[in-house]
Each structure stands twice: as structure tokens, then as C-alpha cells.
Structure 1
Amino acid sequence: MTADIRHIVFDIGRVLIHYDPNIPFSRLIPDEKERAWFFENICTHDWNIEQDRGRSWEEAEKLLIALHPDRESHIRAFRRHWREMVPYAYPESVQAMERLIAEGRDVTMLTNFASDTFAEANEIFPFLKKPRGVTVSGDVGLIKPDLRIYTLHAETFGLAPAHTLFIDDSAANVEGARKAGWNAVLYTGADKLAADLAAHGLAG
């Protein structure tokens, strides 16, 4: 028997909106092998996630430019061309979220996002303002799957963990939510999202 779900929490990147840094960099670094090397060794995931934790882009760029001065233009391009990395929303996911809100369900968002780029995302994608609220990692200095960010989100929005369903595209983040006592499902596409919502009594 599934839990009585009273709160639905959405991740944002790769659940509601598409994110791919290769989009601008396929133009800036056309060679595929060189581009892969750049992301594996310079503007890495670990480097970028620190901006989601609250580090400023100025500090982040300064750190890398000191190590790779010949790559300054490409390093600065990561932030400069950020909007190109989020070219569209996933309509089925957005529709599912908006339906839940329209039905009077309690919907919030929990995201690993830099503070300034999240502010831009709000301008580009107005539907991000529709849920009751959001916890942005860059604002609180914590990132998923740290247990503390789930606890903080639940406390901030008065969520009962056992009656909360979390939707995220990262297996590690889903597991983090489960460790916090939440119900959680891995987002892999529209069909699975619809099936997961239905399985938790939230069918359209």
C-alpha cells in the first residue's frame, strides 16, 4: 500500500527544464574530444557544483584561470553562455506539476542551483513561480544529496516526510531523500513520471 502523499517536491534541472552545457560549447570548442577533455579537466561537474553550494562565479572563474590561464575565454564562457544551456522546458513534466497545483496539491521545489542562475531561470520559465516555494542550494549553502538540505526543506515548508514524494533525475539525490524519510522516485522521462504519480495516488 502506498503512502498517503500530501506533499510533492520537484527537482528542476533535467526534470522540469533541460540542461546541457554542450550546447554553447559545441560551438566554442567544436572538436568533440577536446570539449570532453575540457569538461573532464577544467570546468568539471565538481567545480560547477560548488556554485550550486554558494560559491560566487567570480571566485570560481578566478580559481580556474589561475590554473589554466590559456583557457580564460572558455572558462568565462561557462557563465556567460549559461542561458544557452537551458534551452527549453519538458512540457509533460511542467503540465504534470501544474495539474497537481490546480488540483490543490501542495507542490514545492528542491534544487541544486546557483542563486544567480536560478533568478535567471525564473525569468525564462515563469512556471517556476507557481509552486508554493523552493529551496535553492546556492541560497542555503547545502546541496543534495546532503541529508541536511532535505531536512531544511521539510522544516521550511512544514512537510511530513512520510507523506512527501520527491522527484529527481539523480539516483544519489533520490536515495538522499529516502534516507530523510521521504518517498522518492527517479525521473527518466514523461511516461515513468506519469506512472510514478499514478502509483502514489496522484494520477491525472
Structure 2
Amino acid sequence: MSASPVLVLDIDGVVSLAQPGSAHPWHATLRADMGLDYEELVRDFFRGDFLEVLRGRLDLYVALQDYLEPRGLADRLEEFVAYWFDKDCVIDRGVLAQADAWRQRTDGRCFAGANQEHHRVAYLRDKAGLGAHFDEIIYSAALGVCKPERVFFTNAQARMGVAVAQSILFVDDKAENVDAARAAGWRAMLYRGPDSLEKALAGWG
């Protein structure tokens, strides 16, 4: 197992910038484009069956079929997934460049550590090109558990082959995830933009 420096970046809110609450959320024109109400989608899907999807217990397409069919939109399932994944893929290439430069300077390893499901991870890794910037994307559906649960971090550490928890620097935009990472023995910082990451990486590794 490795004790060399390891950088772990969250995806949504750190690498990908189209989240709810951002200047340009992915769902901004959802009603006009797809005829779906975002608040209803959050209430009845993202806070419902999608939580099982994130833990790898239910396939995204099965869960969405169950949501869309009663609304007469089952025939638009693949269209909706393509729309969502495309709109929710505003990648901060500057952050990736910082991570790449850190990895080159330190010879450390860089991972993504995120609450994600299988299909979107494949999209982000292959189509959005994140696979070229990370040794691996470590994600909840593969681990069977979500941040901020402690087991996410212990399982992720084992997956990365890291023996010394303090050799990991974890970057996330949610305080509860940062606190949980620290409780698991990792170093962790609350992401507040590229400048905060640049400052942290300057003294890491």
C-alpha cells in the first residue's frame, strides 16, 4: 500500500459547475425543454429512488422509468438522461489543470471521490474526458455507500491502496463531507473556488 501523497477531488461543485445554486444550473430550462418541473423532480425522484441509485442498489434507468412513466414521458427516458448528463457537464478545466500540475510536480496520485451512479460516471470519465485526469473515479454506487458516511472514506481508502490516511488530501464543497473525511483520518479542505485549491496544493506533497 502507498504512503505517497494522494489528492481526492469531489466532482459536483469542484470539478463540475452546473449544480443547483450555481450561476448556470443544469436544470435552468428543464421545463421549457422537457416539460418537467425541477422542484417536483427533486422531491419525487432525487430525494426518493435516486438515493438507492447512488448507493448502487437500483439502476438509474429503472428508477427513471418508474418516475417518468406515470407522467406520460417514458418514451423520453433516454432523451432526458442525455439532456441531464450534457447540461450537468460544465467542467472547470482550470481545476483539472491544477490537479495535473500537482501530480506532475509531486508524482502523487489523483482520484475523484464522489456521490455518483454508474452511468454518469461512465459519461464523465469517457465522454467528458475526466478519465485522463484521475487515476480512478471512486464513487458511491461502486462502494455501496454515500458521503458523508464514514464507510465511504474507509472503503475509498482501501480502494486507492492507501495505508496512511494522513497522506490523503480531500477537497469537497460540502462541510459535512469535509468533516467526515477528517473523522476518518484524512486531511481535508472545504473548497471555496480555484484560488483556495491553488493555495492548498502549493503546500501539499
**Same fold, TM exceeding 0.5?**
yes
Kindly provide the amino acid, as one letter, of the partner of residue 9 in structure 1: V
Contact 1:11 1:167 in 2 (8 A): yes
Q: Percent identity?
A: 22
2:165 matches 1:161:
yes
Q: Under a length normalisation based on structure 2, what TM-score does the superposition of the two structures give?
A: 0.79
Task: Give the structure 1 partner of residue 44 of structure 2.
Answer: 42
Runs of 4+ in 1 over 6 A off after TM superposition: none
1:58 to 54, 58, 61: 61
Task: Give the structure 2 partner of residue 180 of structure 1.
Answer: 184
User: What SS class does the counterpart of residue 29 from structure 1 fall into?
Assistant: helix
* Shift, 1:47, TM fit: 4.1
Cα distance change, pair 169–5 in 1 and its aligned pair in 2 (3 A): farther
* Shift, 1:176, TM fit: 1.2
Task: Give the structure 1 partner of residue 91 of structure 2.
Answer: 89
1:191 to 182, 188, 195: 195
User: What SS class does the counterpart of residue 81 from structure 1 fall into?
Assistant: helix
Task: Structure 1: state its 5+ residue gaps.
Answer: none
Contact 2:6 2:109 in 1 (8 A): yes
Contact 1:25 1:35 in 2 (8 A): no
Cα distance change, pair 117–133 in 1 and its aligned pair in 2 (3 A): same
Kindly provide the amino acid, as one letter, of the partner of residue 11 in structure 2: I
Cα distance change, pair 28–82 in 1 and its aligned pair in 2 (3 A): closer
User: What SS class does the counterpart of residue 188 from structure 2 fall into?
Assistant: strand
Q: Which moved more, 1:47-56 or 1:88-97?
A: 47-56
Cα offsets for 1:21-72 (capped at 9, x unmatched): 7856433414xxx835324422334543332211212331244357xx2364
Cα offsets for 1:110-130 (capped at 9, x unmatched): 111111111011122224333
Task: Structure 2: state its 5+ residue gaps.
Answer: none
Q: Distance in 2 between matches of 1:83 and 1:65?
A: 17
Q: Under a length normalisation based on structure 1, what TM-score does the superposition of the two structures give?
A: 0.79
Contact 2:143 2:155 in 1 (8 A): no
RMSD: 3.0
Cα offsets for 1:127-169 (capped at 9, x unmatched): 4333222312112211111111111111122221122110011
* Count of aligned positions: 194
Q: Which moved more, 1:76-85 or 1:5-14?
A: 76-85
Task: Give the structure 1 partner of residue 151 of structure 2.
Answer: 148
